[in-house]
Structure 1
Amino acid sequence: MIIKFTPKYLFAFICLGSILGISHELAHHVAGFLICGEWGFKTFNSFQLAEGCLKSHPVLAWVATIVGPLLFNYTPMWIGYFMLKKENSSEKLFGITLIFATIPIMRIFFNLMGANDESAVIRAFFGDDKLIFWLMNLCIWLITFPPLILAYQSIRNANRLADFLFYLLAFPVFVFLFFGIIMEDLIIKHHFLADTIWGMPYLVILLEILVYIGYYAFRKHLRFQM
């Protein structure tokens, strides 16, 4: 498959990835509400349960932590994998885009550093057990590597490795800088549109609406390239 990295395709790719990232945090947030009975607080890349929830639900509360990556990283990654295996070219393009829009490198890298949702759950139940830690990472590799390998094999561009690394690394860097630093600092440090409704700052809600509009307007470019 020859992929054309047009501005419209890249914009749609960013919107899709942003929606998955937003949905990841929203899954934490909504699950927390269902478990705790009241809203916690979420930003672009973090969430907090309602005060006292973890003490009241010491086991069930951790469901809110793991539901984000299960629903909006690993599941869409494998949906993309099966779409990529289809003969339909439009399904292939969307499939490879979906795989990378889940930002698999962040699941791999940050869990190796013990800094992701999965690592937090493991520490909560097993402490700093090294065997469990490496078994967790092995499971993550077994989940993430097959879609990534198929994605690499499916790229037919002249500079296959460069395009694969662009997919794998460029979008995560953008997400980290834009959402993780710039937008997060606007809320936490500068209190810009930081008032909340249902535990979500207005700035978060505004950006969510904008990326959904952007995706809806440009979504066809994730399936058809001229």
Structure 2
Amino acid sequence: MKVPFSWRYLLAFFCLGTLLGIGHEFAHHFAGFLICGEWGYKTFNSFVLAPGCETLHPQTAWLATLAGPVLFNYIPMWYGLTKVRGSDAGQQLFGFSVILAAVPLLRIVPNLWWANDESWIVTQLFGQSTAAFWLMNAAIWLATLPPLIAAWRAVRNRWRVLVFFVFLVVVPGVVALLFGMVLEPLIVHKRVLAGAFVGIPYLVWLAEGLATFGYWKLKPALRASLLRGDSNHFNASERQA
């Protein structure tokens, strides 16, 4: 499987990463509604439960935090693993795309400093326990490394390290910067389209709609792997799409 660098593939990957990222926060938000019975409020990077929910539901409120990484990071990564292990190059490329678009590094790295959903849950349940910290990180590595290793092994581009780095770090980093440094402040500080429907700002709905439309139009590119021996013709994926 050779990863194409066509504009269609890059934009489709961007849209997929956007959908998984926004979906992560959607999962927090909707799980919170199921637990609390009322809507909280979510932006691109954060969510809050309905007022008083954690007091009324102390045994289950933490499940809203768990829903994000489970539903939109770990499950997609393992779904991608099933695809990347297949024999069809197009399905391998799709699996590669899903694994890397789920941004596994955001599960691995921040938790080494007690900073992410998983760390918050462990702190709530067990406090700042050293044993719990290492068990949590071991579980994260077990959940993320097999898909990552399979995605790495599937890449057949000449510059494998560079290709893998681009989709592991660079493209997800661009997505994170766009939503975290540009769009999030528009809601929080500038109050642009900050009015909400079911606790979700209109700017988030707009971004979700645009990403969904882009993914729908460009998704064939996520299965259009370059043919073996065709690595210098990056528009091959566009012809196949």
Alignment TM-score > 0.5, same fold: yes
CA shift at 1:134, angstroms? 1.0
2:98 match: 98
> In the alignment, what sits opposite 2:148?
148
AA aligned to 1:129 is: S
Map 1:1-20; keep pairs closer than 5 Å. Answer: 1-20=1-20
The answer to whether structure 1 residue 192 and structure 2 residue 207 are counterparts is: no
In the alignment, the residues of structure 1 paired with residue 168 and residue 15 of structure 2 have an alpha-carbon distance, to the nearest angstrom, of 16
Partner of 1:201: 201
Q: What is the rounded CA distance, in whole Å, between the counterparts of 2:5 and 2:45 in structure 1? A: 27
- Residues 106 and 172, structure 1, Cα contact 8 Å, conserved in 2: no
Task: State the alpha-carbon separation in 1 of the partners of residues 60 and 2 from structure 2.
Answer: 46
The corresponding residue for 2:108 is 108
Matched residue of 2:119: which SS?
A: helix
Contact kept in structure 1, 2:17 and 2:172, CA below 8 Å:
no
Q: Distance in 2 between matches of 1:121 and 1:144?
A: 18
CA contact (8 A) 1:103 1:171 kept: no
Alignment of 1:119-198 (within 5 A): 119-198=119-198
Gaps of 5+ in 1: none
- Give the counterpart letter for 2:121 in structure 1: V
Instruction: State the 1:176 CA deviation.
Output: 2.1
- Distance in 2 (alpha carbons) for counterparts of 1:67 and 1:218: 28
In structure 2, distance between residues paired with 1:14 and 1:110: 22
- Let me know the Cα RMSD of the aligned residues: 0.8
Tell whether 2:28 aligns with 1:47.
Answer: no
- Tell me the equivalent position of 1:35: 35
Deviation for aligned residue 1:21 = 0.9
Rounded to whole Å, the distance in 1 between the matches of 2:69 and 2:141 is 14
Moved over 3 A (4+): none
Q: Tell me, in whole angstroms, the C-alpha distance in 1 between the residues paired with 2:33 and 2:3.
A: 41
Shift, 1:45, TM fit: 1.2
Could you state the TM-score of these two structures normalised by the residue count of structure 2? 0.92
Q: Could you list the per-position Cα deviations for residues 71-115 of structure 1 after superposition, in whole angstroms to 9, with x for gaps in the alignment?
A: 110001001001001111211110000000100010001111211
Unaligned runs of 5+ in 2: 225-236
Please give the alpha-carbon distance, in whole angstroms, between the structure 1 residues aligned to 2:165 and 2:46. Answer: 26
CA distance in 2, matches of 1:126, 1:148: 29
For residues 25-71 of structure 1, the C-alpha deviation after alignment (integer angstroms, 9 at most, x for no partner) is: 10110010111010000001110000100011012111110011111
Name the CA distance, whole Å, in 1 between partners of 2:166 and 2:9: 14
Q: Quote how far apart the aligned CAs of 1:4 are.
A: 1.2
Q: Give the whole-Å Cα distance in 2 for the aligned partners of 1:5 and 1:140.
A: 30
Rounded Cα–Cα distance in structure 2 between residues aligned with 1:153 and 1:16:
22
SS in 1 for 2:87: coil
Whether the aligned pair in 2 keeps the contact of 1:36 and 1:50 (CA below 8 Å) is: yes
Instruction: Supply the distance in 2 between the matched residues of 1:113 and 1:47 (Cα, whole angstroms).
Output: 21
